[in-house]
Amino acid sequence: MDLKTMLAGGKYNRGHCPICACPTVFVELGEWLRDQYLCVLCHSVPRWRAVIEVLDSYFPNWRDLTVHESSPGGASSEKLARECPGYLGTHFFKDVQMGRCRDGIRCEDLESQTFEDERFDLVITQDVFEHLFEPERAFREIHRTLKPGGAHVFTVPWYYWQPTRVRAVRENGGVRHLDTPDYHVNPIDPDGSLVTREWGYDLADIIYRSCAMTTTVVRIRDRAKGIDGAMCEVFVSRKS
Ligand SMILES: [Zn+2]
């Protein structure tokens, strides 16, 4: 979409984009800001800007750290890959051996990784955990692969007003749906990604019970940084 079309709706504000790291204009293309409040320069959405803002605030030396991102996609992942020499993005390819690469991208299953213990300072996941069948295993694997003092920085759609709801489970080699199937866009799979969990107010407790990491929820509402709208929280789980 070109700039003229984006601005035609008339709802926009000036600000400073954490991803572009320069002045920009944020434009509202619709009411669902989570997907429709874009930076005109990098076309990022609020949750991507929130992740970079949290990294800048909580881990200002993130460019010098070793970082694993599972299932990268979008302007925030591109910035991490561009600016952090110790960044490693992995995807789960169904037909590639774990730990091997396709087109230069390493294949890893977040729930059962081939990385050695305590390899990373930071693990990043952006809207990944709502698609996992065994998220507790993934939390434990992230804990295992983090150095002491390391952190998992992530986003998920957070239904903080209700307990976590399981929408689908793996059963007998297939999938059993407990709710109407809901799919999100997946950059490496045209069929999309099935939503297996609606994470609720017990998310931090589930993480603590899984791997003893303590979680902080960061909620930013700042139009000057283009961060506004529902479900833009960033979670920071720390390994002691
Ligand atoms: Zn931007």
7 found inside a domain: no
DSSP string, 156-181: --EETTS--EE-EEEETTEEEESS--
Domain that holds residue 93: 45-238
What does pTM read for this prediction?
Answer: 0.95
Q: How far is the CA of 194 from the centre of ligand 1 (A)?
A: 29
**Domain containing residue 156: CATH number:** 3.40.50.150
86 found inside a domain: yes
DSSP code of residue 56: H
Q: Give the DSSP H or E segment for 47.
A: helix 46-58
* pLDDT tens across the length of the chain (240 residues): 677 777 777 799 999 999 999 999 999 999 999 999 999 999 999 999 999 999 999 999 999 999 999 999 999 999 999 999 999 999 999 899 999 999 889 999 999 999 999 999 999 999 999 999 999 999 999 999 999 999 999 999 999 999 999 999 999 989 999 999 999 888 888 888 999 999 999 999 999 999 999 999 999 999 999 999 999 999 999 999
66 found inside a domain: yes
CA neighbours closer than 13 Å in the CB half-sphere of residue 23: 2
Where are the alpha helices (H) located in 146-224, listed in sequence order?
Answer: 203-211
33 found inside a domain: no
Q: How far is the CA of 24 from the centre of ligand 1 (A)?
A: 7
36 found inside a domain: no
232 found inside a domain: yes
Is residue 81 within 8 A of residue 73, CB to CB? The reply is no
* Radius of gyration, alpha carbons of the chain: 18
Q: How far is the CA of 223 from the centre of ligand 1 (A)?
A: 13
Pull the structure tokens for residue 129.
């955990």
Domain count, the chain: 1
50 found inside a domain: yes
Q: How far is the CA of 27 from the centre of ligand 1 (A)?
A: 11
115 found inside a domain: yes
Report the C-alpha gap between 237 and 17 in whole angstroms.
25
Q: How far is the CA of 166 from the centre of ligand 1 (A)?
A: 34
